[in-house]
Amino acid sequence: MQRRGNILQLGIKELRSLWRDKVLLLFVLFAFTGLIYVVSSATSLELNNAPIAVVDEDQSPLSKRIISAFYKPYFKSPDVISLSEVDSLLNSGRYTFVLDIPPYFQRDVLAGKQPTLQVNIDATRMSQAFIGDNYIQAIVGAEINEFVKGYRDVYTLPIQQSPHIMFNPNLTSVWFGSVMELMNVITMISIILTGAAVIREREHGTLEHLLVMPLTPFEIVVAKIWANGLVILLLAAFSLFVVIEGFLQVPIHGSATLFLFGAAIHLFATTSLGILLGTQARTMPQLGLLMILILLPLQMLSGGVTPRESMPEIVQNIMLIAPTTHFVKFAQAILYRGAGWEVVWPYFLALLGIGTACFLLALSRFRKSVALS
């Protein structure tokens, strides 16, 4: 009972320390609200309001028909420019696409010839350039076909394809980006808070105060884990229900309670990892540098950005020891596909094992750090 009381009081001390650090507190609050909203809604993977201009050297009904076919939300209303302006406007970044319709284009089309349309693309806007090129080809091809034949002909394949898009029928990137950003924020903030808590004790000299009290390193470490983990779990629940499901209108198919339970196990691993980094770093800048080395692989290679199946097999095997790999797996299964306990329990078990290993390693390093102090 004495040990439980010590852990409880030390955890309350951690919460008070976080409350007094207004800058860190505001950063954490923004990460779970504004950052998730901005990243998921502003970094859309769909073609949206792409700036386009047209050089109409033909001035024919067909060329005007093609120009009028580009409209929102995929493209902005096309601007008609002269051929001499193309290079300067592309260099200035004003347009992503410039379509050049050559002279006598309509006449050559009706004569059965194959005239060439030139599309100039600013490829520095890589995602828009790749998607927009396909859109332009489809739009121009459909308009020419309808103009020549008098109706929009659709070629019927000898087999009929019937695609069924599951879990995200409109292929809306916000549905994917918001949940992935929430998982990234949970991982990042949990490491930052616990690592900063250890460094703050050292910088403020309160670590020496703890050493003269009848406290064990185990009690100190557990208190930091439960206090910081509780804050992050509450903010994650708020972000899931208010920001993602409320403001962004992302449907949650599975059990939010099951997801938060799994997130708590994940936090056990990442907060332990944060304490481990806090014992290695002596200052906050050092912690920041260590986090760059840790967070980038955790986020980029966990399967949240690109599928793990597309990675080299050796990378897939190495990343099995990373908590984010299993976190992404069960989070996507629960929130996207509505999976239950019978599907996600292996990921929970793997996270518990990884968390236990991180905790024991962090406790060992913290004991050595205390002994050196």
Please, what is the Cα angle at 228 between 224 and 231, to 5 degrees? Answer: 155
Q: What is the mean pLDDT of each run of 10 residues along the chain (373 residues)?
A: 82 88 90 88 73 92 90 87 89 89 90 87 79 86 81 57 73 82 93 89 74 80 92 95 90 91 95 91 86 87 82 90 93 90 94 94 82 57
Query: CA–CA separation, 70 vs 207, rounded Å?
Result: 65
Copy the structure tokens of residue 216. 């064990």
Query: CA–CA separation, 270 vs 240, rounded Å?
Result: 19
pLDDT for 361: 93
pLDDT for 44: 63
pLDDT for 90: 87
Long-range Cβ contact pairs of 66-74 (< 8 A, separation 24 or more): 66/99, 66/101, 66/139, 66/140, 66/143, 66/144, 69/139, 69/140, 69/142, 69/143, 70/139, 73/48, 73/49, 74/47, 74/48, 74/49, 74/50, 74/132, 74/135
User: What pTM, to 2 d.p., does this model score?
Assistant: 0.77
- Contact in structure between 14 and 227 (CB atoms under 8 Å): yes
Contacts (Cβ under 8 Å, ≥6 apart) of 248: 37, 40, 41, 174, 178
pLDDT for 152: 54
pLDDT for 307: 80
pLDDT for 208: 66
Residue 42, CB-side half-sphere exposure with 13 Å CA sphere: 6
Query: CA–CA separation, 58 vs 39, rounded Å?
Result: 43
pLDDT for 165: 74
Nearest to 121 by CA among 146, 147, 140, 93: 93
pLDDT for 183: 92
pLDDT for 156: 57
CB atoms within 10 A of CB 46: 14
**Record: fold of 52-149:** abc type-2 transporter like fold (3.40.1710)
pLDDT for 31: 92
Copy the structure tokens of residue 79. 């601007």
pLDDT for 43: 64
Domain boundaries, the chain: 2-43+172-372, 52-149
Copy the structure tokens of residue 140. 């121009």
Phi-psi region of 157 (alpha: psi -120 to 50; beta: other; left: phi over 0): beta
Copy the structure tokens of residue 298. 């955790």
Phi, psi of 170 (to 5 degrees): -95, 5
pLDDT for 188: 93
